[in-house]
Structure 1
């Protein structure tokens, strides 16, 4: 529904006991749940932080972000992009993981994921779409 779409972007510190297994579990569960809820987005991981953008129906995005905020695999969560949108940036990705290796290879200047402002996430989205749309 146009007008009912929301995007939420946040950065969090990663708290993973087994990074490989935990990331695999997060992505697998997210893809199933997000497909059911009509949510799309990206998840960037640099070994220390997540930067995630989710987009979809307002209620679904708000509920998902509330669940993420309670998830012990995240700490120091900072939301820096919550707004209504007309169209999705990532309509074909139920949850696209951009791993540390992929991030360093294609966008080395983003290795710290030091994003603090809404315009930072817009630049990141543009770069992801140019560099990693396949």
Structure 2
């Protein structure tokens, strides 16, 4: 059985039409990620993406190769690839957090210029806790 991992990276975004491009990215991601057994979260602040993908190591490696070859991503910096025992985002084949939502969840974060894995881990905790609470509030 393939080891379960979490992979986080940051990239500078290069989008011709940001709204249309992000809609297309999300549609393709949800279908592909469901097929590959990948879950995750995509943060977008208008300049950078920070994305965490979780799933089997081989699927995450394949997806990261595709992302690295995608011209919409530049200056890709991988922060973290680590084995995990449980997914942090188990219910999201890919959840996007927009600029507006990101500002509301993490108002001190001007840009996604995170300097290391500790910053990413803290941001994940903040956002996952807020979004999980919001999803529970919305459904109940």
TM over 0.5: yes
> Which range, TM-score by smaller chain?
over 0.9
Partner of 2:88: 89
Contact preservation (8 Å) 1:103, 1:111:
no
| Pairing of 1:7-18 with structure 2 (within 5 A) | 7-18=6-17
Aligned length: 133
Contact preservation (8 Å) 2:9, 2:80:
yes
Deviation digits for residues 65-99 of structure 1 (CA, Å, limit 9, x no counterpart): 01100100000000011111111110000000000
Deviates more, 1:13-22 or 1:113-122: 113-122
Partner of 2:5: 6
Distance 2:37 2:8 in 1: 17
Distance 1:96 1:31 in 2: 9
User: Displaced runs of 4+ in structure 1, greater than 4 A?
Assistant: none
Partner of 1:80: 79
Contact preservation (8 Å) 1:14, 1:49:
yes
List runs of 5+ in structure 1 lacking aligned partners: none
Distance 1:69 1:59 in 2: 15
List runs of 5+ in structure 2 lacking aligned partners: 136-140
Deviation at 1:106, TM superposition (A): 2.1
* RMSD (CA atoms): 1.1
